[in-house]
Structures are given as C-alpha cells and as structure tokens.
C-alpha cells in the first residue's frame, strides 16, 4: 500500500514538473552581459518523455535532436558543495546551462546546493537514492525504492517536487528489463549519455579536457557525462568551456516539455 502511494505521488509530481518547466522553454537562450566572449547557451531543447523514453548512444537509445557541434553538458553524483559550487561558478561565468543528476542522500545532506543549482537555472534530474553498485542486478523492490526515494529526497531538498525534471540517469548506466519497466511506469526519461571524459578515474584535469574534447570532436555532437563531485572535474571545467567555445561547439540546455496526456 505504501509503495503504491509513493508511486502515485511520484507520477503526480512528474505531471506538474513537466507543465511548469515547459514554460521556461519559451525563453530564448540567455546572453552573457558580463562576459561578451562567453560560450553561453545557444538554445533550449524541450523533450517529451513519451517521444524520448530513452536517450543516449551509450544505452543504444534515441539520439537527442542536436545539430552538428551541439553539446549537452550533464553532471552526476552530486551535490557535493566543495566541488559542485566550483562547477556552478564556472558555468555561471560562461552563462552555460547544464543538467544535474542528483543522488537522493546527497541532496538530503546538502539542500542549499540543490537550491543553488535550481536558482542558477539548471535542469535537475535524479540518479537514485544512494547510487548502489551493480544497479542492473537489483531486485524490482530495490529498483522501485531507489528511484522513488531518490526523487522524493531531491524534491524535498529543493523545496518543490514540481521543479524536479522527469529525467533519470541509471547509476553506472546499467540496464535491465526491471529498470526499463519501472522508469516507463513513472514516465521518466532514461537519460544516458553519448560520451564520457573518464573523470571518475584518478586522472588530471588536463586529461579530462583532452578526453572530452577528442571524443566530442570525433562524434561531432552529443551528450557529455561529467561528475560534479571530483576536484579534477571542477578544476577542468573553466578551460573545458573555453575549449568548447574555441572549437565552435554550442551548448544546448535540455528541459522536459509539457505532457498533456498524463
């Protein structure tokens, strides 16, 4: 009974989230008055969870409708104030908008950082409650709990469940029929990635930049997965954004569209 109530509550706030965030898509991508040479955010892309239930080449899923040289920046595993705030500072300096996939227990621990991510205009998705290893091997009961509890904790930390996007990134980009079923039942986009920069390994900031740029240039466009909980990533981001600008890339901010049929 409790599980059914939680699932119904999750479905209800997803409807509200889609409707509210959709209004943001009407706005043009912002200029950067304090930095005329900034990378900036070129456009806002609204996606319908029904049309895009799964996205990202690393999941062999649908590709986002991106033009050549367009990149979507995403950050996993936070928030962690020490490094998340450095990431947010770097994004703000370049007027760039990204998507943050937050872990429920981390959001519960650091609600002020969650609220700053939202206040800075970024999209907030979820990334399970406590990022368990081998997510693809979990039982249905545990998958349900990880998804639902993570969403609830992020929403509570933010102070408004309606502002949590119906975007879920599976820990480790794992796959199972159970995961697919549970995300589909909640009308959540399974938001994978097109490429990574290996920043969860113990590599230098320069190496993170080199991997990100070489892989994006090889693909020509796509979703880039980074982590806002690592010092090297936070240190790399200012130069990575400058390199994206220099190489002619444009940042696209992804938000959920209205889903009237829910």
Q: Is there a contact between 160 and 178 (Cβ–Cβ < 8 Å)?
A: no
In a domain, 175, yes or no: yes
State the CATH number of the domain containing residue 83.
3.20.20.370
Which of the 8 DSSP states describes residue 203? -
In a domain, 111, yes or no: yes
Helix (H) or strand (E) holding 167, with range, is strand 167-168
Per-residue pLDDT at 259 exceeds 80: no
The pLDDT value recorded for residue 4 is 52
Domains identified in the chain, total number: 1
Q: Is the Cα dihedral 11, 17, 18, 20 positive or negative? A: positive
Strands 54-55 and 43-47: unpaired
Flag the least confident range among 19-28, 39-48, 83-92.
19-28
Average pLDDT for 194-201: 97
Query: Model pTM greater than 0.75?
Result: yes
CA-atom Rg of the chain in angstroms: 17
pLDDT in tens, 57-102: 999 999 999 999 999 999 999 999 999 999 999 999 999 999 999 9
In a domain, 158, yes or no: yes
In a domain, 36, yes or no: yes
In a domain, 84, yes or no: yes
Residue that wins the pLDDT comparison between 232 and 9: 232
The pLDDT value recorded for residue 30 is 57
In a domain, 261, yes or no: no
In a domain, 262, yes or no: no
For residues 224 and 191, give the distance between their C-alpha atoms in angstroms, rounded to a whole number: 11
Flag the least confident range among 32-41, 58-67, 194-203, 210-219.
32-41
For residues 171 and 252, give the distance between their C-alpha atoms in angstroms, rounded to a whole number: 23
Tokens of residue 135, six digits: 């997510």
Give the residue numbers spanning the domain of 49: 2-256
For residues 7 and 148, give the distance between their C-alpha atoms in angstroms, rounded to a whole number: 7
Tokens of residue 79, six digits: 């928030």
Which of 252, 255, 218, 256 has its CA nearest to residue 39?
Answer: 252
For residues 196 and 58, give the distance between their C-alpha atoms in angstroms, rounded to a whole number: 9
Per-residue pLDDT at 18 exceeds 50: no
The pLDDT value recorded for residue 261 is 32
Residue that wins the pLDDT comparison between 154 and 3: 154
Prior bond of 220 cis (ω within 30°): no
In a domain, 140, yes or no: yes
Q: Is there a contact between 104 and 128 (Cβ–Cβ < 8 Å)?
A: yes
Per-residue pLDDT at 1 exceeds 80: no
For residues 231 and 77, give the distance between their C-alpha atoms in angstroms, rounded to a whole number: 13
Per-residue pLDDT at 181 exceeds 80: yes
pLDDT in tens, 106-129: 999 999 999 999 999 999 999 999
The pLDDT value recorded for residue 31 is 72
């Amino acid at each position: 009974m409790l599980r059914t109530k939680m699932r119904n509550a999750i479905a209800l706030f997803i409807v509200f989230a889609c409707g509210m965030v959709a209004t943001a898509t009407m706005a043009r991508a912002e200029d950067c008055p304090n930095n005329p040479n900034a990378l900036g955010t070129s456009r806002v892309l609204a996606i319908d969870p029904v049309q895009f239930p799964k996205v990202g080449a690393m999941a062999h899923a649908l590709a986002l409708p991106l033009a050549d040289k367009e990149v979507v920046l995403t950050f996993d595993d936070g928030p962690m104030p020490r490094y998340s705030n450095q990431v947010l500072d770097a994004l703000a300096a370049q007027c760039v908008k990204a998507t943050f996939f937050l872990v429920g227990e981390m959001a519960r621990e650091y609600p002020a950082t969650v609220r700053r991510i939202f206040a800075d205009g970024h999209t907030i998705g979820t990334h399970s409650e406590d990022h368990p290893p081998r997510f693809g091997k979990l039982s249905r009961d545990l998958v349900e709990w990880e998804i639902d509890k993570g969403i609830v904790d992020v929403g509570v930390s933010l102070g408004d469940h309606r502002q949590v996007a119906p975007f879920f990134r599976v820990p480790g980009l794992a796959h199972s029929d159970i995961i697919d079923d549970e995300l589909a039942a909640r009308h959540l986009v399974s938001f994978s990635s097109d490429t990574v920069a290996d920043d969860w390994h113990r590599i230098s900031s320069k190496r993170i930049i080199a991997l990100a740029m070489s892989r994006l240039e090889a693909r020509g466009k796509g979703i880039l997965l980074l982590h806002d909980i690592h010092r090297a990533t936070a240190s790399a981001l200012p130069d990575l954004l400058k390199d994206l600008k220099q190489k002619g890339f444009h940042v696209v901010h992804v938000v959920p569209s209205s889903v009237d049929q829910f």
